[in-house]
A and B are shown apart, each in its own frame.
Chain A
Amino acid sequence: MLYDTPIFGLMGDRSLLVELGNEISPSVNQSVQELFVALDLHKIDGVKDLVPSYRSLLVIYDPLLISAPELERKIDDLYQGLDHARLPAPRTIEIPIVYGGEQGPDLESVAQYHHITPQEVIDYHTRPTYRVYMIGFTPGYPYLGEVPDAIATPRRETPRILVPRGSVGIALKQTGIYSVDSPGGWQIIGWTPVNLFDPQGQPPSLLMMGDRVRFQAISAEEASRWQP
């Protein structure tokens, strides 16, 4: 549910958490995106960084330039005056995935967990158009939703120490792509040759909050010939 007015929370003396709803849903996330875009355009003096997520926006500020109550007032005004029609139509990005094999070591166990075949897992996973709810965890890592119930699977009991960049994982109704080599506990069902994070890129992340993503199954041989 979307709150009538934002709930503000202090995260220390230099960031303000602006919560807009109490759930993971496209409508709450869309409101976060609208407020994020508005704040990004509006540029309040003293705001250093914005971290949008599922249902809240973290506003990091310089306390020598602005105080929490002042910032709260400005954000509240901006939120009340939001023009909900202003967001541009979302981009849809196609991401090719090689499912299973060495680079998708959990495909079989996800299939077993749901008593279906690996091919059915692939069919379910490639069916939705996913929403990018947020980028976080590591640079360029997209949290995508929602995975069909038929393949929603809990995290691994023991996280892996190293999940290679490009690995595609499932954690309950979320799916995501490891953007850099990192530890991780999601069920890894495949791998993409697409690079999600380039520190020199402008922007550095392939995906942004609010984008749409579709997955497309490709063979390992197609992946080896894949050119960005």
Chain B
Amino acid sequence: MAAIETLEIRSPGIMTSVQDLGRYGYGRFGVAPSGALDSFALRIANLLVGNREDQAGLETLLLGPGIKVLSDTLIAVTGGDLRPKKNKQPIEMWRSHAFKKDDILSFGNAVSGFRAYIAVAGGIGVPRVMGSRSTNLPSGFGGHHGRTLKKEDILACNEPRGPMRDTGRVFNPDWIPQYSDKWKLRVVLGPQDDHFPDASRHAFLNCIYRMSQDSDRTGIRLQGPEILPKPDIEASIISEGVIAGSIQIPGDGKPIIILGETVTGGYRKIATVISTDLPSLGQIKPGDGIQFEALSVDEAYLALQEMEGRINDFKRKIN
């Protein structure tokens, strides 16, 4: 498959990286999934430009990049509203746009949400490492040379799958997520929820927590009432595997929502965010309020089936 030089980074933004849906199958080697934090936004962006939903795009934070287009293509921007522009004119999000050679994609200020996703027809053509194009930023591999993008980086895209006839393709407006500064995150309790007394579990499910400034791509740190374990219990547990969305409670009682850059951990976990709500973890901003709600695992499966049903409806509509 031929790759064509398609994008030149003029300004990198705060933290722009190449991500796909993550790297699975290497947990035994300590390799975490990485991947788009708001996977829903990346999947829809890909579908809007005629890609398979799992192709690589760009994830950017708060202050987006400035990008010069080097060859004619289709681009869609989804996720947080960072005010995307084409040649300084605002363009609609959750919609595909034709870009000609020398057109400029840039961003204004963040209006809502935290991370935007940029999909380009054909997908970003960086080499696969362990089956994925995602950038593992903590360990420095995958994506574009294992790092965030810099000024003058050139990204090649794979050849588009078909003719680029999808300009103006839009996502169903009713299904576009609305990001506010208050979030409800649904969780399945466990696997160590029984290490906490009723009072701690009650606080966890009934108080508002705030995302702390010292959060990063490895974890969302929360401020709020301390969650303390039962008395006479050891500070940590024997290290075990963890997944994105697991809510661990370290010794200071301040919850941390683990994101996709960690495979193991030695803190007890009171609950895990359900798959359907994982994309929200990419859009919560420092200072936002979070309330947790417990579901049964069967209720979590139903929620996921409903979300996947919408994506499948959209796929049927465009094919």
| Residues of A bordering B, CB below 8 Å | 9-15, 17, 23-24, 36, 48-58, 60, 63-64, 67-68, 134-141, 143, 179-180, 182, 197, 199-200, 203-205, 208-209
Contact = CB atoms under 8 A, between A and B. Distances in A.
A17 B240 contact: yes
B190 A205 contact: no
B239 interface: yes
Contact of A200 (B129, B239, B245, B305): B129
Interface stretch (B79-87, B139-147, B156-164): B139-147
B29 interface: yes
A179 B140 CA distance: 12
B191 A13 contact: no
Nearest to B272: A12
B238 A54 contact: yes
B308 interface: yes
Contacts of B146: 199
B304 A64 contact: yes
B141 to A, nearest CB: 4
A60 B29 contact: no
Contacts of B187: 12
Contacts of B275: 12-14, 63
B129 A14 contact: no
16 contacts: A10-B190, A11-B269, A11-B272, A12-B273, A12-B275, A13-B188, A24-B238, A48-B25, A49-B24, A49-B26, A50-B27, A51-B240, A54-B240, A55-B240, A138-B138, A199-B129
Given A11-B272, A68-B297, A204-B26, 7 more contacts: A9-B191, A10-B191, A14-B275, A17-B241, A51-B263, A56-B241, A140-B30
A134 B239 CA distance: 9
Contacts of B138: 138, 180, 182
Most buried by A among B189, B192, B263: B263
Nearest to A22: B238
Contact of B28 (A23, A56, A64, A209): A209
A36 B28 contact: yes
B67 interface: no
B28 A50 contact: yes
A49 to B, nearest CB: 4
A61 to B, nearest CB: 11
Contacts of B27: 49-51, 58, 60
A180 B301 CA distance: 37
Given A58-B27, A60-B27, A139-B31, A10 B297 contact: yes
Contacts of A139: 26, 29-32, 136, 139
Interface residues of B, number: 46
B246 interface: yes
B274 A12 contact: yes
B242 interface: yes
A56 B29 contact: no
A119 to B, nearest CB: 31
Which A-B residue pairs are the 8 nearest by beta carbons?
A58-B241, A9-B191, A12-B272, A51-B241, A136-B264, A13-B300, A199-B141, A51-B27
Interface string B121-154: 0000000011000001011111000100000000
A85 to B, nearest CB: 22
Interface of B: 24-33, 129-130, 136, 138-142, 146, 187-192, 238-243, 245-246, 263-264, 269, 272-275, 297, 300-301, 304-305, 308
Nearest to B192: A9
Contact of A9 (B25, B26, B141, B190): B190
B240 A58 contact: yes
Most buried by B among A54, A136, A200, A203: A136
A205 B25 contact: no
B77 to A, nearest CB: 27
A48 B28 CA distance: 12
A164 to B, nearest CB: 13
B277 to A, nearest CB: 10
A16 B180 CA distance: 32
Contacts of B130: 199, 204
A64 B246 contact: no
A136 B263 contact: yes
A204 B136 CA distance: 14
A135 B245 CA distance: 21
A99 B29 CA distance: 26
B243 A205 contact: no
A72 B273 CA distance: 20
B300 to A, nearest CB: 4
Most buried by A among B30, B31, B141: B30
A210 B230 CA distance: 34
A135 B29 contact: yes
A64 B305 contact: yes
Contacts of A51: 27-28, 240-241, 263-264
A58 B242 contact: yes
A34 to B, nearest CB: 14
Contacts of A56: 238, 240-241
